[in-house]
């Protein structure tokens, strides 16, 4: 790695750390004076512009999420679970929180529910590598309990920044807690599913850019209630149609 690239990366990490401390979101990158002279400045700017989504996600993870102590969940976690997949995914799946296996491996949806989610994604004509999979919370609640309001609030900025970086065309909220959190509603998943809703990146309904969001049943619920799989497939087919993917008729 060149000295300029190292300077650019260091500057980006430092600014993201500062932004987090100040409570700022996605502030424009300001290059320090050390790398703003003549040819070096031009090269540094080009290098900064070339930093792709994957690098921005990695910096967010390493500089903010991994060391986060905003809520008490940080005290009991094995490791944070940032999420994984394509940094330019057209489709993002969002669950509620990591479980035991996710906490152990540091990856989202890797247990039995994750295996079913993989099958769902493949049935859509995609692969896990083509989508992005994450959770509202980046740390596992003790005993897999429901997240507390203060924990959701502490983690919400990370999810919003992930989605701002990836800029997907469609979101799928997996399960009632994720759907209620993202849509700021008390409605049941049974009433929410089956149609698209607007998720606002600002966190405030009606403010700023929105992303179409499809709520559907969580894979863990489908393992317990396989009769509901047909409803989930209906939801996913609507997502496929929205993305221009070939819808498979029964």
Give the model confidence (pLDDT) of 156-203 as tens digits. Answer: 999 999 999 999 999 999 999 999 999 999 999 999 999 999 999 988
* Percent helix, strand and coil across the chain, each to the nearest 5: 50, 10, 35
Write out the CATH class of domain 72-243: alpha beta
Give the model confidence (pLDDT) of 21-36 as tens digits. Answer: 444 444 434 434 443 4
Confidence of residue 212 (pLDDT cuts 50, 70, 90): very high
Q: Across the chain, what does the average pLDDT equal?
A: 85
Specify the pLDDT at position 48.
44
Written as six digits, the tokens of 212 are: 């179409």
In this prediction, residues 130-151 reach a mean pLDDT of: 95
Question: What are residue 190's phi and psi, to 5 degrees?
Answer: -65, -35
Specify the pLDDT at position 205.
83
Specify the pLDDT at position 61.
97
Strand partners, 174: 216
d(CA 168, CA 90): 4
Specify the pLDDT at position 202.
87
Q: Is 178 helix (H, G, I), strand (E, B) or coil?
A: helix
Confidence of residue 6 (pLDDT cuts 50, 70, 90): low
Specify the pLDDT at position 171.
98
Specify the pLDDT at position 161.
95
Specify the pLDDT at position 34.
41
In this prediction, residues 10-30 reach a mean pLDDT of: 47
Specify the pLDDT at position 51.
59
What percent of the chain has pLDDT above 90? 73
Specify the pLDDT at position 39.
47
Domain map (residue ranges) of the chain? 3-51, 72-243
Specify the pLDDT at position 178.
95
Specify the pLDDT at position 169.
97
More confident residue, 32 or 226: 226
More confident residue, 139 or 146: 139
Give the model confidence (pLDDT) of 69-88 as tens digits. Answer: 999 999 999 999 999 999 99
Specify the pLDDT at position 33.
40
d(CA 216, CA 127): 19
Counting Cα atoms < 13 Å in the Cβ hemisphere of 39 gives 0
In this prediction, residues 131-147 reach a mean pLDDT of: 95
Burial 86-118 (b: 16+ CB within 10 A, else e): bbebbbbbbbbbbbeebbeebbbbbbebbebbb
């Amino acid at each position: 790695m060149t000295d300029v690239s190292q300077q650019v990366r260091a500057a980006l990490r430092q600014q993201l750390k500062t932004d987090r401390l100040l409570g700022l979101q996605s502030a424009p990158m300001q290059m320090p004076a050390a790398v703003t002279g003549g040819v070096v400045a031009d090269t540094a700017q080009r290098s900064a512009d070339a930093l792709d989504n994957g690098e921005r996600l990695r910096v967010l993870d390493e500089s903010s999420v991994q060391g986060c102590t905003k809520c008490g969940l940080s005290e009991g976690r094995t490791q944070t679970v940032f999420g994984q997949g394509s940094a330019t995914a057209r489709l993002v799946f969002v669950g509620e929180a990591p479980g035991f296996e996710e906490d152990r491996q540091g990856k989202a949806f890797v247990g039995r529910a994750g295996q079913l989610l993989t099958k769902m994604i493949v049935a859509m004509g995609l692969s896990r590598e083509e989508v992005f999979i994450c959770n509202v919370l980046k740390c596992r609640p003790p005993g897999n309990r429901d997240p507390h309001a203060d924990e959701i609030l502490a983690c919400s900025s990370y999810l919003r920044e992930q989605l701002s970086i990836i800029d997907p065309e469609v979101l799928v909220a997996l399960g009632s807690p994720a759907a209620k959190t993202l849509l700021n509603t008390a409605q049941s998943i049974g009433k929410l599913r089956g149609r698209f809703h607007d998720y606002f990146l600002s966190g405030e309904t009606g403010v700023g850019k929105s992303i179409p969001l499809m709520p559907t049943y969580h894979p863990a619920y489908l393992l317990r209630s396989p009769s509901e799989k047909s409803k989930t497939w209906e939801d996913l087919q609507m997502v496929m149609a929205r993305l221009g993917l070939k819808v498979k008729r029964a």
